[in-house]
Amino acid sequence: MSVKKSHLLSGGVTLQAVARAAGVTIATASRSLNDAYGVHPATRARVLQVAKKLNYTPNRFARGLVTGRSDMIGLIVSDVRNSYFAEVARGVEDAALEAGRDVMLCNSDMNSARQMKSIVSLLDKRAEAIIMNSVAALSRDDQQQIAAAGVPIVLLNRAGRDGTFSTVCADNEKGGRLAAECLLRNGHRNVIHLTGPKSHANLARRSQAFVKAMSAQRGTKVCTVHAIHTLQGGYGAAQEIFRSMNGATAIFTGNDVMAFGVMRAAIEAGIRIPRDISLIGFDDVELAAMSFPPLTTIHQPKYSVGRAALEIVKELLESGTETPRHRVLDVQLVERASVAKISR
Amino acid sequence: MSVKKSHLLSGGVTLQAVARAAGVTIATASRSLNDAYGVHPATRARVLQVAKKLNYTPNRFARGLVTGRSDMIGLIVSDVRNSYFAEVARGVEDAALEAGRDVMLCNSDMNSARQMKSIVSLLDKRAEAIIMNSVAALSRDDQQQIAAAGVPIVLLNRAGRDGTFSTVCADNEKGGRLAAECLLRNGHRNVIHLTGPKSHANLARRSQAFVKAMSAQRGTKVCTVHAIHTLQGGYGAAQEIFRSMNGATAIFTGNDVMAFGVMRAAIEAGIRIPRDISLIGFDDVELAAMSFPPLTTIHQPKYSVGRAALEIVKELLESGTETPRHRVLDVQLVERASVAKISR
DNA sequence: CTGAAAGCGCTTACAG
DNA sequence: CTGAAAGCGCTTACAG
């Protein structure tokens, strides 16, 4: 019955049927359908026409069995519900569609066991490449096993030479610098930088560049505060901060959700943004444009990250190369209404 | 070379190799790996052990060629970036993982041509079922072609008997009723209902049930306003509404984003929620908990919609039935801080 | 430019 | 309980 189903799927039309109807052997039929060379134009045209009329669609299993190709690529993200990854996924899918490929989506929950399970399943299904935001805890063993599969791997949000795998990420350093420049330009000299745990590499890069750019200007003061990088974390930290501002006129948060936490704490404390204090975030999540006031932030090219990852996959697949490629994508300042110009 | 790659993927280990190492034919090896019956426990154990040691993983193409099964299901949504569908996608993926299946994700952009292209591609890749939020404009022709594929189709956000396809959707009627009851319970008698275009079936269901439940109470007044069902639409409509409230004490919006539009207009007009006017939304999007004030709304089980869709797929696949199944999922009121009790 | 044939790696009646 | 064999529907050298 399953076999019968399979017939239904392809409309029951096999290459054999097409060949017969076109008066050739399956060999020429196959060649006509695939390469342009080595088959008489007239024959080719006839086969194509017949195939179309019969509504022929090749059996992927049969083809895959001999070519080894599946035309599918795997995408593993921690969670699509995270809008960052939803954007990335969309970028990957759009680029994949253009490249005639489908994408298999997996969620890892930042759980290395689940991630490994997904990888195995994707490899099992013959994914031709895997794009993923790897969790840190990928054992040496797993890493080798993955590399051994000989399938291109593209890591998301990882800067530079990660060894064996390709990477795509946003220019966090530039983002940090842009935030500093924005604040400086608006006259802020005494600012607070609220960020996540030091272990978070991307956040750390932003912080470092931010502090460096601020310090480049004389008479500047930056006070860095670490908290959990969530809305709650930002909220809690802001409550503390508001108790003793020490003359700070602006806050730069490592990401937007922390900024939203700051906003909430500000409302509750009767502090108005940007009148009493300016605020600038990082990421440019959807909500940033809808908050009140709309948040000035650094735009991360999430969608482009997805596209870029698939482009790397395509390059790797086409060239047959194994040497990893690396891309860092540009970010930019999006000025909305949460940063005020202050007079000195 | 492609063929060589294919070898790398499965570690180069074929059933043949396992069989040889276990001292049996590929027939028994296959049986050992698949069914439990008809093979001596000892033999079976030996084969399993060898397979494990050799790190054997069956070639999906070969298996698929004979069984017709791919263990993949397709999911088509208008756009994963829409958080509603991101949630749905997650639900589908989780349930699929449990069922040992992978999901291929496609975005249709509410474009029937793109949608049809995705369907064809999914069918081509032997998706065993397709879950999708169908765009209205699916031609009779396309519909038949899809049905002809003999693959279970589950439509999202479609109520009831849609003819040939299974459906899953939230209980919009109940949601509308809950909103009305909440308002009534809090003493509201004169309210405004702000919703989208009448053509939107789900919105219409909510409206109808809301109005009906409000009217059930004597001395009640509901004024319905139609606008585009976006933040902008809600914003614009609210500006109008605030000009002549005619004593209304609450607004029920057909979805949350319209409510956010109302919130913005309220802030600008100096109207405080819920002190000056109460507000209740529908959907319970992520932002609803983060807005100021946090929005009272009707929770839609987005994640569960995804899971339910996959459950239907499983049932249909296991039973081999073709008769469509329908599920409508429960919704519930989430009381936050945007509705005030009013004294009469 | 085209055909005959091997082979991709499995599953599954059919015998024993 | 196990083996020998057919067959799934393609692609691709190898001849001609």
Quick check: A264 and B5 CB within 8 A?
no
* Residue B56: C-alpha distances to residues B48, B72, B88, B224 (Å): 9, 21, 34, 64
Q: Which residues of chain A form CATH 3.40.50.2300?
A: 72-171+303-331, 172-300
Quick check: A105 and B89 CB within 8 A?
yes
Confidence band, pLDDT 50/70/90 cuts, at residue B328: very high
pLDDT at B137 over 70: no
Element housing B104 (H / E) = strand B102-107
Q: Percent of chain B at pLDDT above 70?
A: 94
Mean pLDDT of B66-91: 94
pLDDT at B46 over 60: yes
**Contacts (Cβ under 8 Å, ≥6 apart) of B30:** B15
- Let me know: does B196 contact B255? Beta carbons within 8 Å: yes
What is the architecture, at CATH level 2, of domain B172-300? 3-Layer(aba) Sandwich (3.40)
And the tokens for A328?
């860092």
**Contacts (Cβ under 8 Å, ≥6 apart) of A123:** A130, A149, A151, B9, B57
Strand C atom within 7 Å of A68 CB: no
How far: A19 CA to D16 C1' (Å)? 20
Nucleotide nearest to B24 (CA to C1'): D2
Closest CA to A123 of A154, A93, A96, A145: A145
pLDDT at A185 over 50: yes
Average pLDDT over chain A reads: 90
- Let me know: does A33 contact A50? Beta carbons within 8 Å: no
Per the DSSP assignment, residues forming a β-bridge with B106 are B76
**C-alpha span between B33 and A280 (Å, rounded):** 58
Nearest CA in chain B to A87: B81
More confident residue, B186 or B139: B186
Q: Taking CB atoms and an 8 Å cutoff, what residues of chain A touch B125? A: 60, 70-72, 102
And the tokens for B335?
């009381």
Closest CA to A72 of B240, B330, B307, B127: B127
Nucleotide nearest to A27 (CA to C1'): C3
Confidence band, pLDDT 50/70/90 cuts, at residue B1: very low
Closest CA to B237 of B208, B257, B213, B215: B257
**C-alpha span between A289 and A266 (Å, rounded):** 18
Confidence band, pLDDT 50/70/90 cuts, at residue B279: very high
Nearest Cα of chain B lies from the Cα of A61 at a distance, in angstroms, of 5
Which pLDDT does position A237 carry in this prediction?
Answer: 98
Which of A108-112, A332-336, B41-45 is most confident?
A332-336
Task: Select from A3, A9, A65 the Cβ nearest to the Cβ of B126.
Answer: A9
Quick check: A292 and B264 CB within 8 A?
yes
Sheet strands (E) in A189-301:
190-195, 221-226, 250-253, 278-280, 297-299
More confident residue, B8 or A183: A183
**C-alpha span between A183 and A190 (Å, rounded):** 10
* Residue A136: C-alpha distances to residues A80, A149, A156, B63 (Å): 19, 20, 12, 35
Q: Which residues of chain A form CATH 1.10.260.40?
A: 2-67
Which pLDDT does position A147 carry in this prediction?
Answer: 82
SS (H, E, C) A162-188: CCCCEEEEECHHHHHHHHHHHHHHCCC
Question: What's the pTM?
Answer: 0.89
Q: What's the CATH number for B2-67?
A: 1.10.260.40
**Per-position DSSP letters for B241-252, written without gaps between them:** HHH--TT--EEE
Residues in chain B: 344
Asked whether the CA dihedral A332, A335, A338, A344 is positive or negative, the reply is positive
Q: First and final CA of chain B: distance in angstroms?
A: 81
Angle between helices B2-9 and A60-67 (to 10 degrees): 100
Quick check: B71 and A125 CB within 8 A?
yes
* Residue A322: C-alpha distances to residues A151, A165, A312, B59, B267 (Å): 9, 9, 11, 23, 56
Nearest Cα of chain A lies from the Cα of B202 at a distance, in angstroms, of 23
**Which one-letter DSSP state was computed for residue B68?**
-
pLDDT in tens, A75-121: 999 999 988 999 999 999 999 999 999 999 999 998 988 999 999 89
Maximum separation of any 2 CA atoms in chain B, in Å: 88
pLDDT at A161 over 80: no
Q: Percent of chain A at pLDDT above 70?
A: 94
The amino acid at residue B302 is K
Whether A64 has its CB under 8 Å from any CB of chain B: the answer is yes
Quick check: B93 and A107 CB within 8 A?
yes
**Per-position DSSP letters for A111-137, written without gaps between them:** -HHHHHHHHHHHHHTT-S-EEE---S-
**C-alpha span between B269 and B251 (Å, rounded):** 15
Task: State the Cα torsion B195-B196-B199-B201 to the nearest 10°.
Answer: -60
The amino acid at residue A168 is V
Whether A99 has its CB under 8 Å from any CB of chain B: the answer is no
Nucleotide nearest to B44 (CA to C1'): D1
Q: Taking CB atoms and an 8 Å cutoff, what residues of chain A touch B124? A: 57, 60
Element housing A98 (H / E) = helix A83-98
Protein-nucleic contacts, chain B 56-95 to strand D, CB < 7 Å: 62, 65-66
Mean pLDDT of B160-174: 87
* Residue A239: C-alpha distances to residues A92, A207, A247, A267 (Å): 39, 21, 16, 11
Nearest Cα of chain B lies from the Cα of A213 at a distance, in angstroms, of 32
Confidence band, pLDDT 50/70/90 cuts, at residue B344: low
Which pLDDT does position B38 carry in this prediction?
Answer: 77
Q: Does domain A72-171+303-331 have CATH number 3.20.20.480?
A: no
- Let me know: does A76 contact A131? Beta carbons within 8 Å: yes
Strand D atom within 7 Å of A64 CB: no
**C-alpha span between B94 and B98 (Å, rounded):** 6
**C-alpha span between B39 and B186 (Å, rounded):** 69
